[in-house]
Structure 1
Amino acid sequence: MTASLRAEPLRIGIVGAGIMGRGNAVALSREPGVSITACVSRTRASADRLADEIAGRGAPRPRVHDQPHDLFTDDAVDAVVITTPDHQHADLVVAAAEAGRHVLVEKPFATSVADADRALAAVRSAGVIGMCLFNHRWVPAYAQAYDELGTMGDAAVAYARKNDTITVSTEMINWAAHTTSAWFLSSHDIDLVSWLIRDRVVRVYTTGRWGVLRGRGIDTPDAIQIHAEYERGTVATFESAWISPASFPTPVDSYIGIVAEGGVIQLDRQAENLVVARPDGLTYPRTLLQRVVHGVPAGAYRDAIVHWIECCRTGAEPLVTLESSRDVTAVLAAAHESLRTRQPVDVPPPAEPSR
């Protein structure tokens, strides 16, 4: 069956009980007309911990399932949030859509073009709402930059970096060897820059560096740079690394700069308007993506999820279309082929809209 469009409540199942699963649970915990009714994870114990945490926030304790299929076919679930490791996304999106459930999936949408295409086809065929959680589009400065760039003509050059501390690749996630800094970090920036300049990447050339993480038994590049050419001639560099020292004042160093024919945009998220100095060092606490204001979840992460919820209720197409998210996957797949071959690689053409 296809999940019906309800005024309220929208009953949500969460797949994955890691950092992002908990982040989604926090963002949803105070939303009116939303109920987390089920959860599932790789182990029963981790799913139980998430269910207990949700109950600890004053909500009914969601039922815990042993397998994603059981959650997708649960009559108490209208929509699902998929927060598993990257390489598992496509199969779960397909299964959820085929069960008639609306889908919100963490970025990246998928890790191959073939997987992205079949996941996109499954969502469109089922007639459910699907969105990839590229939540940075809801950061106020990025949203304003989109409007400003609309008055500046074509972009000439763009540069974006997201560099994480080594704690992310060695401690925060235990599956770094199954991904790269580009899949994990540059996916956000490729989505953002392509959206900001209203264009698509057609060709990439990629270089990378291995060393530190291999030395720790994690076989993934320390850093990757993607040189991208856009359809209308913009050239862009997407930089990602995840070996910065743990002493760096933020977990991520994030910056975007765009030079257009009629102006320049710079977006530096280093301080996010708050600096905290203590005897043991200086930090810049994160305030834009995930925060709690007077006990209420807030920030771009929560705003993106609320947008998806509203689309589930109304049937509207999300701001982040699955077609655009599929194109991010196509860019990254081409970039990793370029990294392997040391040659420029053309990006597959965009998927044809099916509705």
Structure 2
Amino acid sequence: MTHLPKLRVGIVGAGIMGRGHAEVLAAHPDAEITAVARRALDAAPQAAVYPGYRELLDSGTVDAVSITTPDHLHADVMVAAAEAGVHILVEKPFTTTVEDADRSVAAIRQAGVTAMCLFNHRWVPAYAQAKQQMELVGEPVVGYARKDDTIYVPTEMIGWADQTTCAWFLSSHDIDLVTWLYDDHVVEVYATARHGKLRGMGIDTPDAMQIQARFSRGAVATFESAWIYPNTFPTMVDSYITVAGESGVIQLDRQKENIQLATEKSYSYPRNMLQRVVHGIPAGAYRDAIHHFVDCARTGAEPLVSVESSRHVTAVLAAAHESARTGRPVPCL
């Protein structure tokens, strides 16, 4: 049996998600973090630090890159990595323009590298089980997906909220998930956006968006995103999905799978499905998705999340933002 070498990974983006990727990869027995861009990460003290992603790629010390830069900065890194023959794991959303998505997909397929957008919700056990049960629900008819954050996220957690929107940041997960559950693609969207609270705080981004999507086989779905919940809400994210078909319905409420914690200061549902540490070891859907990418990059297998499906999520969201701007339905191309 041939022993495959460890996957040498470079991390581009040392913010919250970069630290999350580093913690998972540092604990993976078949991966090692050999390089990081711009600044060191505590989880990878041995990694060489390069001033930027181009220097990292030129170093010849990585087989793959983990791209955790802000939403709008993914494409240039992906194209450069593909041209360097380096495998690609990129945070969601894939890109924030269709043009960037198309050039990224073209570069990836031209180079023949393994690439995956980290739509980690496909590894949440309840969502994966829902996919297996879809045949019992029958032909999809209508769906609703809500993902709303507390105001902590755009005002404190990330410093680039004015470079993205709640829909790019949140609904990208749900659009990937529902299109996967439906086994279909969106052909037209109508969307509305509400501005006010965040603009009043000096952050020029919508408070909330709703997207009405029509799928090719006739099903419809609503995607809701907002990030102005008060910080007293018991979870940082309020996440819920329902899918109704001709023969049944599936409902998924992530809060119901969390533990409840009450202290003298607050009442909360600590997060545990996406990211958690069990006996000192990273666990959860986030970890499982990254491990899947490492396995695919080492073996040449095609990832569960294709770059083409991730490009479609970008196309849906680009059409939604155009619809919100014009007040008209927009085809998804």
Identify the residue that residue 16 of structure 1 maps to in structure 2.
13
* CA shift digits 1:80-125 (9 cap, x unpaired): 0000001110111000100110000000111111110100000000
Among residues 191, 194, 203, which one is paired with 1:209 in the alignment? Answer: 194
What SS class does the counterpart of residue 189 from structure 1 fall into? helix
Give the Cα separation in 1 of the matches to 2:22 and 2:152: 23
Residues 1:289 and 2:268 are matched in the alignment:
no
Identify the residue that residue 97 of structure 1 maps to in structure 2.
82
Among residues 219, 227, 234, which one is paired with 2:204 in the alignment? Answer: 219
Among residues 165, 181, 198, which one is paired with 2:150 in the alignment? Answer: 165
Counterparts of residues 115-264 of structure 1 (less than 5 Å): 115-264=100-249
Q: What is the letter of the counterpart of residue 136 of structure 1?
A: H
Q: What is the letter of the counterpart of residue 126 of structure 1?
A: A
Give the Cα separation in 1 of the matches to 2:173 and 2:156: 21
* TM-score, length of structure 1 as denominator length: 0.92
* CA shift digits 1:141-165 (9 cap, x unpaired): 0000001012322111100000000
Give the Cα separation in 1 of the matches to 2:138 and 2:216: 14
Q: In percent, how many aligned pairs have the same letter?
A: 63
Q: What is the letter of the counterpart of residue 10 of structure 2?
A: G
What SS class does the counterpart of residue 37 from structure 1 fall into? strand
Query: Which segment is superposed worse, 267-276 or 94-103?
Result: 267-276
- Point out 4+ residue stretches in structure 1 off by more than 3 angstroms: none
* TM-score, length of structure 2 as denominator length: 0.98
Shift of 1:76: 1.5
| Maintained 8 Å contact 2:67/2:90 | yes
| Maintained 8 Å contact 1:271/1:285 | no
CA RMSD, 1 decimal:
1.1
Give the Cα separation in 2 of the matches to 1:281 and 1:272: 19
Query: Which segment is superposed worse, 143-152 or 208-217?
Result: 143-152
Question: Would you say how many aligned residue pairs link Structure 1 and Structure 2?
Answer: 332
> Residues 301 and 6 of structure 1: is their aligned pair in 2 closer, same or farther, counting only changes over 3 Å?
farther
What SS class does the counterpart of residue 101 from structure 2 fall into? helix
Q: What is the letter of the counterpart of residue 212 of structure 1?
A: K
Query: Which segment is superposed worse, 22-31 or 183-192?
Result: 22-31
Unaligned runs of 5+ in 1: 42-46, 56-60, 349-355
Identify the residue that residue 95 of structure 2 maps to in structure 1.
110
What SS class does the counterpart of residue 297 from structure 2 fall into? helix
Shift of 1:6: 7.7
Identify the residue that residue 44 of structure 1 maps to in structure 2.
none
Give the Cα separation in 2 of the matches to 1:66 and 1:99: 17
Identify the residue that residue 64 of structure 2 maps to in structure 1.
79
| Maintained 8 Å contact 1:272/1:285 | no
Q: What is the letter of the counterpart of residue 142 of structure 2?
A: V
Among residues 37, 40, 44, which one is paired with 1:40 in the alignment? Answer: 37
Unaligned runs of 5+ in 2: none
Residues 1:305 and 2:290 are matched in the alignment:
yes
Identify the residue that residue 53 of structure 2 maps to in structure 1.
68
What SS class does the counterpart of residue 29 from structure 1 fall into? helix
Q: What is the letter of the counterpart of residue 8 of structure 1?
A: P
| Maintained 8 Å contact 2:26/2:43 | no
Q: What is the letter of the counterpart of residue 84 of structure 2?
A: A
| Maintained 8 Å contact 1:249/1:284 | yes
Shift of 1:20: 0.2
Give the Cα separation in 2 of the matches to 1:38 and 1:321: 26
Among residues 23, 26, 30, which one is paired with 1:29 in the alignment? Answer: 26
| Maintained 8 Å contact 1:6/1:313 | no
| Maintained 8 Å contact 2:258/2:271 | no
| Maintained 8 Å contact 1:272/1:284 | no
Give the Cα separation in 2 of the matches to 1:26 and 1:191: 25
| Maintained 8 Å contact 2:137/2:244 | no
Give the Cα separation in 1 of the matches to 2:49 and 2:266: 42
Q: What is the letter of the counterpart of residue 93 of structure 1?
A: M
Identify the residue that residue 353 of structure 1 maps to in structure 2.
none
